[in-house]
């Protein structure tokens, strides 16, 4: 019998386990590689973002051109030109893209930290485990501050390292899931 559906044949569960195992190995391998060479991984992620921005800008310009009958079409087109130019800049100046992406990451950590601390304080009268929310917020804020202090040095490796950690944890969870007897 299967946890996913009681009527599912066991061969489907075996196939799912193999899929989890293969995908887990790929993710864990990529994660370890990114952790071992985070500057290369940062470059790869940055270039992936750059090309997505370029494609987004081009598609957006095509979209905006279909609205030429509206007076605001130029404003929409200008926004997509900015996206396109950002992507081109990331491709032509890779270090600048990593610095910007790291800055965004720092901002997210700092904002999440402050908001989590405020939420924890707000819930302190209603929730017994409110301190864990504050702890999580303090960790996010501290990580943001550490990265902010080391921003110029960290920009070349932090994105790749974080992506590597994410891939590794995803891969390990899939590998552990593949060991479950009933899928």
Residue 55 falls inside a structural domain: yes
Residue 137 falls inside a structural domain: yes
Pairwise pLDDT comparison (58 vs 69), residue with the higher score: 58
Let me know if 97 is exposed, middle or buried by CB neighbors in 10 A (0-12, 13-18, 19+).
buried
Residues spanned by the domain of 163? 10-178
Residue 98 falls inside a structural domain: yes
Angle between helices 38-65 and 10-36 (to 10 degrees): 110
Residue 3 falls inside a structural domain: no
Distance of CA 9 to the CA centre of its chain: 36
Residue 5 falls inside a structural domain: no
Q: E strands along the chain, which residues?
A: none
Residue 37 falls inside a structural domain: yes
| pTM for the model | 0.72
27-47 average pLDDT score: 95
Residues 6+ apart with CB under 8 A from 110: 140, 141, 144, 145, 148
CB 38 within 8 A of CB 158: yes
Give residue 15's pLDDT: 85
On the question of pLDDT at 79 being above 80, the answer is yes
Residue 96 falls inside a structural domain: yes
Confidence at 42, pLDDT banded by 50, 70, 90: very high
On the question of pLDDT at 1 being above 50, the answer is no
Overall domain count for the chain: 1
Residue 18 falls inside a structural domain: yes
92-97 average pLDDT score: 88
Confidence at 24, pLDDT banded by 50, 70, 90: very high
């Amino acid at each position: 019998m299967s946890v996913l559906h009681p009527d599912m044949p066991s061969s489907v569960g075996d196939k799912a386990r193999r899929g989890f195992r293969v995908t887990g190995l790929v993710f864990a391998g990529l994660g370890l590689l990114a952790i071992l060479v985070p500057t290369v991984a940062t470059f790869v992620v940055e270039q992936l973002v750059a090309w997505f921005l370029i494609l987004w800008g081009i598609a957006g310009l095509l979209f905006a051109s279909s609205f030429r009958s509206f007076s605001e079409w130029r404003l929409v087109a200008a926004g997509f030109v900015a996206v396109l130019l950002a992507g081109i800049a990331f491709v032509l100046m890779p270090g600048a893209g990593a610095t910007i992406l790291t800055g965004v990451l720092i901002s997210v950590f700092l904002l999440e930290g402050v908001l989590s601390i405020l939420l924890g304080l707000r819930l302190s009268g209603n929730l017994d485990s409110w301190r864990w929310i504050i702890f999580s917020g303090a960790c996010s804020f501290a990580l943001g501050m550490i990265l902010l202090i080391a921003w110029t040095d960290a920009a070349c490796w932090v994105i790749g390292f974080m992506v590597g950690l994410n891939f590794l944890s995803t891969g390990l969870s899939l590998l552990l899931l593949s060991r479950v007897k009933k899928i």
